[in-house]
Amino acid sequence: VSTSRSGLGCTCVRLEQVRKPKTMRLIALLAFLPLCACGGSPAAEGADRGEHLKEWARITEEAAAADGPPLSSLPLAEEWYQVTIADVPVGYMNTLTSVDDDGSARSMEVMDVQVNRGADTSRMAFETVFQEAPLQPPSLEVLEEAQRSTGGVTLMAYDQRFANNEVKMGLTFPDGEMKLVSFNGEKEHVSMLPRPEQAWLGRLRARLEFTRQCRAGATEIVVQTMRPELGPRVVNLTSTLMRIDKAWDGTQMVEASVWAVQISDVPVNMTEAYETRGATRCYRMLQMGLDMPFGYLLASLSEKEPALQSAEPDANRPLPELVYTMFVILDQPIERVNEARMVEISVGIKAGSSRAPVDLKLPTGGYQRVEPDPDDAARLRVWVDLMAPQDATPEELAETDFRSPSAMIDSSDEVIIELSHKADPLCAEDGKPLPKGHTNGKLPIALAEELAYALRQIVHEHIEDKHLSTAYASASETARTASGDCTEHAVLLAAVLRARGIPSRVCHGLVYVEQGGSAIDGQVHVDASGNVDPAGGRLTGQYGWHMWTQALIAGKWIDLDATLHLPFTVGHVLVGTSSMADKDAHNNHMQMAALIGNLEITVHDVSHSFER
């Protein structure tokens, strides 16, 4: 946690009841990449935690003797935070809770940031809202039995806005179920889901439970809750005391407890700092930090105007660049990658990477096969072979999400359906006309493959404005605007495939970038240190983070990349896949989070022979 926040102030507006949501996700910030990588605070490493724990016990004892206010009388405030990346202001975070006449509490959290993606600037905002049943003192954190499957929540909502694109999600709890309503800017999608079996707490109750245990002197606190940006699933939020430090409280540097925060199944660590003394000890968050590969992200208490100003364009303030700086640089190029049939590489974690997972895992799927590296137990050996697609698992074959429309892959949209039928003339031109009146999904294998390749070509040609300023538009939006980056190519291709009865999913991972060019425009170049080099000197080759599509044909996943001028190349490394179903659309890139900035790749073999 930084201790150089002097000069920043904070104005507080008292509310009538409890507030303070957990901080804004691992910052969905990289959904537009569309990925994110974060980790714990490096300052904690090597610290004498034992001494900090003794200090924490002393602080707890002194605070208990002072007989501070109960949870039911905590003062409340609207809070503003300035968000910086590598000490550069990029936006703000705002939290607020209101109390309705019936006593129900509504908590809101907004993060609004801007960054550079190549030569383009992207501004994005994320908003989460919880509406919760009235909190009844004195046991505010305790739920009635009937509320245990709802967390005491009546509404949980999420809204993400990138440029002119907007995706919304709302979750309610009618009649023993969960009703998920997703909106992609064009239409709503409704899904009915079972309620979770385990008990959980809504945002306010989860915050109060943390406060209760923190005030009791706990050093590890686990709370079950939901995070709107991760979809309608219960997660464990684990907070572990790291140290006692100093943090800015809006007027001065004060003593703070610093906690490492981990969300279950999400390879992203956060740090949060809380007051240790006074009326709002263990309750008011002073700072939140994320250690990212492109710089340390810090949200610090601020006055409203400086926080808002941080999200406005300023020609004199260069913003962090989040695409090219995260390329994986190779020590040698992949020769004639577009003509190759097979590539063999080894993938490992960089030495000294503090954010990386202990065990590297990559999936076998599509044209990719993964095995332990015979020469290094810490690495994986990866083969990408265009003549050896992998079989789908029985679970994948039975999964209906690969066939169904969702808010992002809205394959039932009329424009999507119309676009999908533009492939028919291409099939006829290639001597493989589709039978008239054929039933979607029932084509012979050869015709299904021909249709899939034709649909890829249609999407490649349809998206004429290829750039990085669009971020995460739905398939129907992309079909109408004909613009976007690899994300839009991937979701649109998945949608037209489903519209014609071919199951599909979206892939995320790495793509080989020849001569340092972008997979979107092929013009920007990067040197070995990640610096943008418009001149484009001689480079050794590199991998950039990317998205593409897979089609399920004859029990095998076929890789298709609509951003390229050819169907696919061996220069892809698959990290994860997603159906982009509404229930998990916002949690589909987590496999990548811990890997960004932490991978190294060695090329072992390249084959250009298509003979079996």
Least confident window among 48-57, 391-400, 568-577: 48-57
- Say if CB 590 and CB 266 are below 8 A apart: yes
Query: If pLDDT is split at 50, 70 and 90, which confidence band does 137 have?
Result: low
Least confident window among 66-80, 161-175, 319-333: 66-80
Per-residue pLDDT reduced to its tens digit, 316-373:
888 877 767 778 888 888 988 999 999 999 999 888 766 666 678 999 999 999 999 9
Q: What is the pTM of this model?
A: 0.76
Q: Which of 433, 345, 347, 329 is nearest to 384 (CA)?
A: 345
Least confident window among 80-94, 261-275, 543-557: 261-275
Cα–Cα distance for residue pair 170/128, rounded to 1 Å: 10
141 pLDDT higher than 60: no
Residue 199 CA, chain-centre distance (Å), reads 25
Identify the pLDDT of residue 7.
30
Mean pLDDT of 179-187: 79
Which one-letter amino acid corresponds to residue 155?
L
Q: Which of 324, 242, 227 is nearest to 524 (CA)?
A: 324
Domain boundaries, the chain: 29-309, 326-607
Query: If pLDDT is split at 50, 70 and 90, which confidence band does 179 have?
Result: very high
Cβ-in-10-Å burial (0-12, 13-18, 19+) of 168 comes to middle
Strand partners, 153: 132
Beta strands in 464-541 (DSSP E): 465-466, 483-484, 504-513
137 or 296, which is more confident?
296
Identify the pLDDT of residue 471.
57
Query: Which CATH code of 1.20.1560.10, 3.10.620.30, 1.25.40.10, 3.40.50.11390 fits the domain covering 326-607?
Result: 3.10.620.30
Query: If pLDDT is split at 50, 70 and 90, which confidence band does 3 have?
Result: very low
Q: Is the peptide bond preceding residue 69 cis, with omega within 30 degrees of 0?
A: no
Q: Which of 369, 292, 337, 355 is nearest to 88 (CA)?
A: 292
Kind and range of the H or E run holding 548: strand 542-553
Supply the mean pLDDT for the chain: 81
Cα–Cα distance for residue pair 332/542, rounded to 1 Å: 9
Cβ-in-10-Å burial (0-12, 13-18, 19+) of 326 comes to buried
Q: Calculate ∠ Cα 438-440-444, nearest 5°.
A: 70
Identify the pLDDT of residue 138.
44
Cα–Cα distance for residue pair 57/113, rounded to 1 Å: 38
Kind and range of the H or E run holding 415: helix 414-420
Identify the pLDDT of residue 612.
59
Least confident window among 196-200, 294-298, 363-367: 294-298
Q: How far is CA 366 from CA 302, 345, 551, in A?
A: 48, 16, 9
Per-residue pLDDT reduced to its tens digit, 103-128:
888 899 999 998 876 667 778 888 99
- Say if CB 307 and CB 82 are below 8 A apart: yes
- Say if CB 529 and CB 344 are below 8 A apart: no
Mean pLDDT of 524-552: 66
443 pLDDT higher than 50: yes
Mean pLDDT of 471-489: 84
Mean pLDDT of 52-66: 90
Cα–Cα distance for residue pair 214/60, rounded to 1 Å: 9
- Report strand pairing: 368-372 vs 269-275: unpaired
Identify the pLDDT of residue 600.
92
Residue identified by tokens 């054929």 is 438
Per-residue pLDDT reduced to its tens digit, 491-532:
999 999 999 999 999 999 999 987 555 444 444 444 444 454
Identify the pLDDT of residue 438.
59
Q: Is the peptide bond preceding residue 372 cis, with omega within 30 degrees of 0?
A: no
Mean pLDDT of 230-244: 92
Mean pLDDT of 179-191: 80
Range ranked top by mean pLDDT from 44-53, 467-476, 491-500: 491-500
Query: If pLDDT is split at 50, 70 and 90, which confidence band does 256 have?
Result: very high
Quickly list H helices, 109-257: 203-215
**What DSSP assignment string belongs to 246-296?**
EEE-SSSEEEEEEEEEEETT---EEEEEEE-SSTTTTTSEEEEEEEETTEE
Kind and range of the H or E run holding 449: helix 445-462
Which one-letter amino acid corresponds to residue 27?
I
Tokens representing residue 160 in the block:
């993400």
- Say if CB 598 and CB 38 are below 8 A apart: no
Do you know the residue count of the chain? 612
Identify the pLDDT of residue 59.
93
CB atoms within 10 A of CB 179: 15
pLDDT more than 90, % of the chain:
45
Q: How far is CA 200 from CA 98, 107, 221, 554, 583, in A?
A: 22, 17, 14, 42, 18
Least confident window among 186-190, 254-258, 301-305, 405-409: 186-190
Query: If pLDDT is split at 50, 70 and 90, which confidence band does 598 have?
Result: confident
CB atoms within 10 A of CB 218: 17
Q: Calculate ∠ Cα 273-205-201, nearest 5°.
A: 110
